[in-house]
Chains A and B, each alone.
Chain A
Amino acid sequence: MADHTSEKIPTVIADGVDIVYRVNGTGAGRGSATAALNRILRRKNAEKAAGVRKVHAVRNVSFVAHRGEAIGLIGTNGSGKSTLLKAVAGLLPVENGHIYTDGQPSLLGVNAALMNDLTGERNVYLGGLAMGMSREQIKERYEEIVDFSGINDKGDFITLPMRTYSSGMAARLRFSIAAAKDHDVLLIDEALATGDANFRKRSEARIRDLRKSAGTVFLVSHNNKSIRDTCDRVLWLERGELRMDGPTEDVLAEYEAFTGDKTTKPKPKPRPKATATKVTQPS
C-alpha cells in the first residue's frame, strides 16, 4: 500500500475469495423420497443432514493481476482452477470476498451456445452473437473465422450441420469462433489442446495475438510447456487454496517437484517462498 508504483495498473483483484458449490441429492438418504422430503421441510437448519453437500472449491484466494501480465493457473485436477476462472469472469457467484475487474473479463469458449443441429455457418453467427459481437462485426470476420478453422479445407463443410463434423473439426470451429473477439481480460481454459498439430500451432499463434490486444490473460493448463511459453507469472492452486504465486520458473519448479514431474529436487518447500511471493504485493 505504501509504495504505489503508478505503472502497474491492476485489472483483476481477487480479495479473499471463497467459492462453494451446493449439490442436491447426495449424502445419506441419496435420492430417496424421505430424504427429499426432509430436505424440503428442514431446508434452513439442516442443509447437510438433508443431503445437500457443499463443495468448497476455492478457499480464501487473493491476488492482484496487472495490465500486460499473462498469468498461468496450475494445480492438480480438481484444485479449483477452472472454478476460479469462472468466478473472475463473473459467471459463478462467490460465497465470501470480492472479485474486482476492469471491464468484463471473458472466458474463451462458446461451446455452450452452439447447436449441433445447425450448420457451421449459422453457428458462427450464433456464437459470435452470444459473445456480444454485432452482426456487422461477425460478417466482417466471417471469412477469417472459417479460413482459420480450416473447416473448408476438405470441401464445403461449413454449410453442413455441426453434428456431421468430426470431433476435431468441431473443436477447431469452436476455437475459431471463440478467438474471433478481442478481449480486455481474456480467460483461457485449456483451449490450446484442441485439433491436430498443425492447428495447435496456429491456435497458439492466435493466442499470442490475443494476448497482445488483451490487457491481461489468464491461462489454465496442465501443459507446463504452454504455460512456460505464454505466461510470465503463475498462480498455483491446490485443494482450492492459493499455494504459490510468483514468476513462472520459480513456481513451475516447485510444482514439478510436487507432482513428481521431471524430478529435479526433493521438495524444499518452505525455502523459495520468499523469492516467489513478491508479485502479490498490492502496488
Chain B
Amino acid sequence: MSQVLDTPPLTAPTPAADDLAALAARHGLTVSGARPSLPEYVRRLWARRHFIAAFSTARLTSQYSQAKLGQVWQVMTPLLNAAVYFLIFGVLLGTKKGVPDYIPFLVTGVFVWTFTQSSILSGTRAISGNQGLVRALHFPRAALPISMCLQQLQQLLFSMAALVVILLAFGVPVAFSWLLAVPALLLQFTFNAGMAMIMARVGAKTPDISQLMPFVLRTWMYASGVMWSIEHLLSKHNDWPSWVGPVLQANPAAVYIDLMRFALIDSFHASQLPAHVWAIATGWALLAGVGGFIYFWKAEETYGRG
C-alpha cells in the first residue's frame, strides 16, 4: 500500500485539447451543465411546473406531519402570531387608537407581511439548504426558490381562510372588493418570487446572509406599517420632511399590505392608499420578478459548487 503515496504515472495518452473540442463539435455534443439561453430556461422551468407544485405541497405537509394536531397548525400558527402582535401593539402600546377595525387591520397586515417575510427567508436558503438536491438532480434551479414561495402562498391561503372568519366575527361586511385580493396576491407573489430568487443567489454564494436576514426583515417590518397605520403616523408628525410620506407608502411591503386592507376591510378607504397604487404594485412585481429571475439565471451553472 505504500505505493498509494506515489504520484501515479499518467498512462492514458491525453489527446490534444482542440481534437476533443472538434470531435465534440462534429457530433453535436454540448457542454454539460452549461447555462441555457433565457427562453430555453423559461421553457425548461415551465416543463417542471408539476415538480414545483409537488415539491412545495410536499414541504408544506411534511412541516407539521409529526405534530399531534397535524395540519391544524397551518391555521393556528398565523392566528397565534396575530394574537401576540395584538397583545403587544393593540393592548400594551395602544397603537390601535384611531384605527377603525383594528383587529382586522392588524391581522391582515401580519398575514400579508408574513407571506413576504417567509418567502424571502426561505428563498435565502433555497439553494444553500438544498445542496443535496442541487448536486443530485438536474432541473432549472429557479424551481427551488419559486417552489418555496409557492409553499408560502399555500400557507397564506390557509391564513386567509382564518382571516375571513376573523373579518366576519368583527362585523366586516362581505363585499365585491374582496375579489381585489386575488390580483393583489398575484402581484405580491411575483414580487416575493423575484426577491426569493435574488436572495437565493446571494445566499448560495454567501450562506452567512441567512444569519443576517431576520434582522433586515424585522427592520423592514417595523417600517412597513404592519401593526400601525402609516397615515396616522404621518399626520402626527407634521414636522417630518415631505418626502418621508411617499417613501414610506411606496415601500413594496406597505403597498401590498394596504392593498389587501383596502380589498377586505370596508373602513379602510381608497383615500388611505398612495396615488397610483396599482401601478406601484405592478411596478414592484415586475421589477423584482423579471429582474430577480434574470439575476438568478445568470449564475445558474454555479449553483452546487462547494
Q: Which of B12, B13, B132 contacts A111 (CB 8 A)?
A: B132
Cα A282 to Cα B31 with chains together (Å)? 17
Whether B55 and A130, one on each chain, are in contact in the complex, defined by CB atoms closer than 8 angstroms, is yes
Residues of A near B3 (CB, < 8 A) are 258, 267
Whether A129 and B20, one on each chain, are in contact in the complex, defined by CB atoms closer than 8 angstroms, is no
CB within 8 Å of A: which B28-78 residues: 28-34, 47-48, 50-51, 54-55, 58-59, 61-62, 65-66
Residues of A near B13 (CB, < 8 A) are 277, 280-281
Q: B1-42 interface mask toward A, CB cutoff 8 Å, 1 = contact, 0 = none?
A: 101100111111111010111111001111111100000000
Interface status of B90 (Cβ within 8 A of chain A): no
Cα A125 to Cα B61 with chains together (Å)? 15
Whether A112 and B136, one on each chain, are in contact in the complex, defined by CB atoms closer than 8 angstroms, is yes
Residues of B near A273 (CB, < 8 A) are 11
Q: A72-113 interface mask toward B, CB cutoff 8 Å, 1 = contact, 0 = none?
A: 000010000000001111111100011111101111011111
Interface status of A41 (Cβ within 8 A of chain B): no
Residues of A near B139 (CB, < 8 A) are 130, 132
Interface status of B134 (Cβ within 8 A of chain A): yes
Interface status of A49 (Cβ within 8 A of chain B): no
Whether B11 and A89, one on each chain, are in contact in the complex, defined by CB atoms closer than 8 angstroms, is no
Whether A243 and B135, one on each chain, are in contact in the complex, defined by CB atoms closer than 8 angstroms, is no
By size class, the interface of chain B is 35 or more
Whether B137 and A22, one on each chain, are in contact in the complex, defined by CB atoms closer than 8 angstroms, is no
Cα A86 to Cα B24 with chains together (Å)? 19
Interface status of B302 (Cβ within 8 A of chain A): yes
Whether B50 and A100, one on each chain, are in contact in the complex, defined by CB atoms closer than 8 angstroms, is no
Interface size for A (C-beta < 8 A) is 75
CB within 8 Å of B: which A2-59 residues: 9-16, 21-23, 55
Whether A129 and B50, one on each chain, are in contact in the complex, defined by CB atoms closer than 8 angstroms, is yes
Q: A111-138 interface mask toward B, CB cutoff 8 Å, 1 = contact, 0 = none?
A: 1110111100010011001111011000
Q: A129-B54, A242-B10, A282-B15 are in contact. Are A91 and B134 (CB under 8 A)?
A: yes
Q: Which of B50, B61, B66, B137 contacts A110 (CB 8 A)?
A: B137
Whether A13 and B20, one on each chain, are in contact in the complex, defined by CB atoms closer than 8 angstroms, is yes
Residues of A near B62 (CB, < 8 A) are 115-118
Cα A273 to Cα B11 with chains together (Å)? 6
Interface status of A69 (Cβ within 8 A of chain B): no
Minimum C-beta distance from A161 to chain B (A): 7
Select from chain A the residue with minimum beta-carbon distance to B21.
Answer: A15
Whether A161 and B14, one on each chain, are in contact in the complex, defined by CB atoms closer than 8 angstroms, is no
Minimum C-beta distance from B39 to chain A (A): 18
Cα A98 to Cα B22 with chains together (Å)? 12
Q: A129-B51, A277-B13 are in contact. Are A282 and B32 (CB under 8 A)?
A: no
Residues of A near B12 (CB, < 8 A) are 62-63, 242-245, 277, 280
CB within 8 Å of B: which A228-268 residues: 238-239, 241-245, 258-260, 267
Interface status of A154 (Cβ within 8 A of chain B): no
Whether A100 and B24, one on each chain, are in contact in the complex, defined by CB atoms closer than 8 angstroms, is yes
Whether A98 and B302, one on each chain, are in contact in the complex, defined by CB atoms closer than 8 angstroms, is no
Minimum C-beta distance from B53 to chain A (A): 9
Minimum C-beta distance from B180 to chain A (A): 33
Interface status of A155 (Cβ within 8 A of chain B): no
Cα A202 to Cα B28 with chains together (Å)? 36
Q: Which of B10, B22, B65, B301 contacts A161 (CB 8 A)?
A: B65
Whether B48 and A10, one on each chain, are in contact in the complex, defined by CB atoms closer than 8 angstroms, is no
Residues of B near A241 (CB, < 8 A) are 7-8, 10
Residues of B near A242 (CB, < 8 A) are 10, 12
Whether A112 and B27, one on each chain, are in contact in the complex, defined by CB atoms closer than 8 angstroms, is no
Minimum C-beta distance from B212 to chain A (A): 12
Whether B138 and A132, one on each chain, are in contact in the complex, defined by CB atoms closer than 8 angstroms, is yes
Residues of B near A161 (CB, < 8 A) are 65
Minimum C-beta distance from B127 to chain A (A): 13
Q: Which 7 A-B pairs have the closest CB atoms?
A: A90-B33, A100-B24, A117-B62, A112-B132, A100-B29, A90-B32, A129-B51
14 contacts between A and B (CB under 8 A): A1-B19, A10-B24, A11-B29, A64-B23, A91-B138, A98-B20, A100-B20, A104-B32, A130-B55, A132-B139, A161-B65, A239-B7, A258-B3, A282-B20
